[in-house]
Chain A
Amino acid sequence: AQSVAQPEDQVNVAEGNPLTVKCTYSVSGNPYLFWYVQYPNRGLQFLLKYITGDNLVKGSYGFEAEFNKSQTSFHLKKPSALVSDSALYFCAVRAVNTNAGKSTFGDGTTLTVKP
Chain B
Amino acid sequence: NAGVTQTPKFRILKIGQSMTLQCAQDMNHNYMYWYRQDPGMGLKLIYYSVGAGITDKGEVPNGYNVSRSTTEDFPLRLELAAPSQTSVYFCASSSPDRNTYEQYFGPGTRLTVT
Number of inter-chain CB pairs below 8 Å: 59
Q: Give the size of the chain B interface in residues (CB under 8 angstroms).
A: 27
Closest to A52 in B: B98
Question: When the two chains form their complex, are residues A90 and B106 in contact, meaning their CB atoms are under 8 A apart?
Answer: no
Question: When the two chains form their complex, are residues A43 and B106 in contact, meaning their CB atoms are under 8 A apart?
Answer: yes
Q: Which B residues are CB-close (under 8 A) to A9?
A: 40
- State the main secondary structure of chain A at its contact with B: mixed
Q: Which A residues are CB-close (under 8 A) to B96?
A: 101
Question: When the two chains form their complex, are residues A100 and B102 in contact, meaning their CB atoms are under 8 A apart?
Answer: no
Question: When the two chains form their complex, are residues A46 and B48 in contact, meaning their CB atoms are under 8 A apart?
Answer: no
> Chain B residues in contact with chain A, CB under 8 A?
4, 31, 33, 40-43, 45, 48-50, 56, 58, 90, 92, 94-96, 98, 101-108
5 contacts between A and B (CB under 8 A): A34-B101, A90-B42, A100-B31, A100-B49, A101-B95
> Chain A residues in contact with chain B, CB under 8 A?
9, 32, 34, 36, 41-46, 49, 51, 90, 92, 94, 99-103, 105-108
